[in-house]
Structure formats: C-alpha cells, structure tokens
A = this chain, B = another copy of it.
Amino acid sequence: MSAPHTDVEQVEAANTAFYEAMERGDFDELSSLWLTPSDLGVDEEYHDPADSGVISCVHPGWPVLTGRAEVLRSYALIMANTDYIQFFLTDVHVSVTGDTALVNCTENILSGGPAPEDGDELGPLVGQLVVATNVFRRTPTGWKLWSHHASPVLAETGEDDENGRNGVNGANPDDSPLA
C-alpha cells in the first residue's frame, strides 16, 4: 500500500508549493498551480454543462470568485497590496479519494502591506488565524488546485470564554464539546 503514501506526499508538496508561491509573490508560479480545463483533457471551447475543472476561490471575508480570470486577478491584487507575507501551516490533514484530494490546514499568517508613501519601511505587520480547505485534482503534470476556501477563525477552541464572538446561530467554538 505505498501508492496512497506517495499520493499524500505529492499532495502535501503541491499544497506547500501554493503557499510558497504566495510568500515569494510569484504570480506565474501561482497561476501554474491552478487547474485548467485542458489539464483534464476538456476542450475549453466546447461549452461543458458540468463546468469540469472550473476553479473557485474564497479569500477570508470575501465572496466566491469563480473561473481563472476572477481568481487570478484577485491574487494579482493581493500581491500588489502585500510587501511581506508568511504562512505557518499547522494541522495539515490530507484525504485522497481517487483523483481528488482534500487538504485542510490552519494558516497562521503574518503579513504587511506596502510602505506608507512617506516612509521606506514596511507597513505594519498583522497576524491572522485562518483555516483553509484546498481541493486538488490529479493531472498528467501533477496535482493542481481546483478550489481554495479560506476563512477567519473568530474564536479559539479550548477557551472557556462566554464572550467569544458568535459562530452559527449563537453557537460558537467555545460552546463546542469538541475542545
């Protein structure tokens, strides 16, 4: 049973490459990691009723972006507004089923915007706790991103804090018996 091990390692490497491309601000590399319909052998000219391989992306607090044009434009925008970004990934979990892989991870993000106009230094650094669900698809040239959904964690688990912000319907992670 070495094949699943190899799959997991390859998917983890693709997931890491995605975040490293963001850290380097390497837009071309980032673009190459996202799935195209032609990666799946789908003719992009022919209208596919199932929209095979159409990518989507949700940045924290954003609405859904669908299709390569919208998704890649958002990354160009974010890179233009970010001078420094680093991702410390924790709790990485991979589930591979057939030719699709689901990766959940926690993105501990440290980032800073461009310098203010009258200064030479970085904008202030901010930290963010974000969780992500990344869906990858197996292609002849490796695992490619089909979907990225990232969202802010509004309250920590494990705290006994009745003042935590609400999640769904007044239930929040602090109320959860999971902690």
Contact = CB atoms under 8 A, between A and B. Distances in A.
Contacts of A112: 169
A40 B82 CA distance: 42
Sort chain A's interface into a size bin.
35 or more
A72 to B, nearest CB: 11
Contacts of A119: none
- One complex includes copies of this chain to the number of 2
Contact of A56 (B54, B63, B66, B93): B93
A78 interface: yes
A155 interface: yes
Contacts of A81: 169-171, 175
A96 B177 contact: no
A31 interface: no
Interface string A127-167: 01001010101000000001101111111110000000111
A51 interface: yes
Contact of A70 (B52, B133, B178): B178
Contacts of A123: 170
Contact of A85 (B50, B70, B96, B169): B169
Interface string A44-65: 0000111111101011111111
Given A113-B170, A170-B81, A95 B64 contact: no
A14 interface: no
A52 B153 contact: no
A5 B50 CA distance: 6
Nearest to A131: B64
Given A5-B50, A64-B104, 13 more contacts: A1-B49, A4-B48, A53-B97, A58-B131, A60-B151, A60-B167, A61-B173, A66-B104, A77-B177, A78-B171, A82-B171, A128-B168, A150-B168
